Structure formats: structure tokens, C-alpha cells
Amino acid sequence: MSEITVYHYDAFASTPGKGNPAGVVFGADHLSESEMQLIAHNVGFNETVFVLGSDTADLRLRYYTPGHEINLCGHATMASLFGLKTRGMLNGKTSVVIETNVGNLPIRFEQDGETLRMEMKQDQPRFLPFNGDMDRLAASMGLRASDIDPTAPIVYGSTGTWTLLIPIRSLEAFDRMRPDSQLFPDILLENPKSSLHPFCMEAHDLSAFMHARHFSSPYSGTVEDPVTGTASGVMGAYYLTYVQPGQSHAEFTVEQGQEIGRDGRVGVKAQKTAQGMEIYIHGTAVFVRELVIQY
């Protein structure tokens, strides 16, 4: 049995214990896919990210849940790039390009006083209709169908990772949510491995524009993602596509994690272009501790 050091960072927060925890493995080129999967399983976070060399970009990132590899993860990207930058592993660069399973994506660093922020470009947004049973969908989250807002569509959305975007009428419903993820695949007939992302246009924090929770697919081996980068990013595209289709630009903050004590913030920027739409998220991270993991 081997051992490896995994660096625990909390992303989309500047205080340990808040935001979304991610495991980061630097210099992971020697690891096989099965070893990466085993390490991620043993870490147990929603995602563990492995930093590798790249022939087409400054570095390559591979993302694993405890159950499987995923194509893109916003909070693990923030965690790994924060770690690389603060540990002096990027030779003073103010921007880099990362290779991911959805293509090469630019990352930009910005120093705001003592706070280091990262801006991440995401993949082109895609949407698919949801034609499932709303009563069963609501019940799988511990809600009633009347809690779902009928004025906005329920759709699958992706800027690198698929999730079902579910508009909720009011903020108070989020405290009542009790997800049963084992029910998800039979309800999500068009995309059985999708996660659920209920959101509303109210927030606890006056500086936030949206509130959300994120319930993991049962295949991932986790239940809830505290603060979600890719799902927040696709919300920018959702807003310009379904809520305010006459607008060409949106910039706002999404709050997430309050119900489970992991309060965090994701900055979102969406811009319509001749080629489609550009989606960016930004945030910060904080180092928590080193973990020695056996695999």
C-alpha cells in the first residue's frame, strides 16, 4: 500500500470550514486512473483534483468524485490554482491555460488586497429539456410540486458538467429540502447521471442575486455539493436564455451552503457573443490542512 499527500483547500470562501472542500494532488503524473479514483474515494470529498503536465496547455487537471471521474469542476479548479499560485509553482504568471476533458480553458489571477481571486472560463453552455414527473422530482428533494416556480423552465444545463436546474418559488423552501438521491436516476430519464440544482431569485445576503443548493448524483458517492462552480456558471447562461433573454450581459453573485454550515460565494459573468455565450466564474480559496492518504 502506498501513501500520498493530499492538500485540502476550501474553495469559494476565505475562512477554513466554509465554502466547498476539495482535495488537491500536485505532481500527479505518476498516478494511474485507477489510483486517482482510489485516492479520491479515500479522501471522500465531493471532488479531488489531480494536477498533471500538459502538451497543449500550462497544466492538466483531472477531477474525481469518490465514485467516478467528471469532466470539469469549478471549486476544485479554484482550489488547485490557488494552491499552485500561493505555493509559487506558476513562476509568477498572472494567467494560465488549463487542459480539461472539455477542452483548454483560461484562468486569470487577480490580487485584491490580501485576497487572491481566480477567474475561470467555462465550456459553452448547453441545455436539454426535462420532461419528467414534477411531483416525483419535488418529492425526491423533500418538497411539494407547488414549491417549484412554474414561471421558469426546469432544464438540464451544462458548462462542462450536467445538472438539472430547478427554479424554486421561495427561499424558505431550501431549509425543508431533504434529498433522496437514490430516486434521481429513475426521474431524470433524459440524463440519469445528472445532479440536481434547485435555485431561487432570493438570497440571505443582500449582495447576492441567487440562492442555491446542489444535490449530487448517487453515482458520485456524495450527497450534497456545498458551493458549486460549474452549476453557478450555467446559471449565468440560464438567466440570459430563459429569465432575461433580451439582455446580452449578466454579472452577479450566487450564495450557497448556508443550510449545511458551509456558506460560500461564487461570482458569475455571462456574455452573449456571435459564437454563442462566454461564461466565467470567479472566487477565492483557503488552505486548510495536509492529508496523508493510503491507496
Is the CB of residue 229 less than 8 Å from the CB of residue 120?
yes
Residue with the three cell numbers 433524459 = 190
Catalytic residue numbers? 47
User: What's the angle, vertex CA 12, arms to CA 205 and CA 72, rounded to 5?
Assistant: 125
Kindly give, in sequence order, each residue whose CB lies less than 8 Å from that of residue 81, ignoring residues fewer than 6 positions away. 96, 98, 107, 109, 118, 120
Kindly give, in sequence order, each residue whose CB lies less than 8 Å from that of residue 127, ignoring residues fewer than 6 positions away. 155, 156, 157, 158, 237, 238, 241
Q: How many helices (H) and strands (E) does the chain have?
A: 5, 17
Nearest CA-CA partner of 203 in 240, 235, 156, 237: 235
Distance CA 91, CA 84 (A): 10
- Look at strands 276-283 and 264-273 and give their pairing: antiparallel
Distance CA 97, CA 112 (A): 21
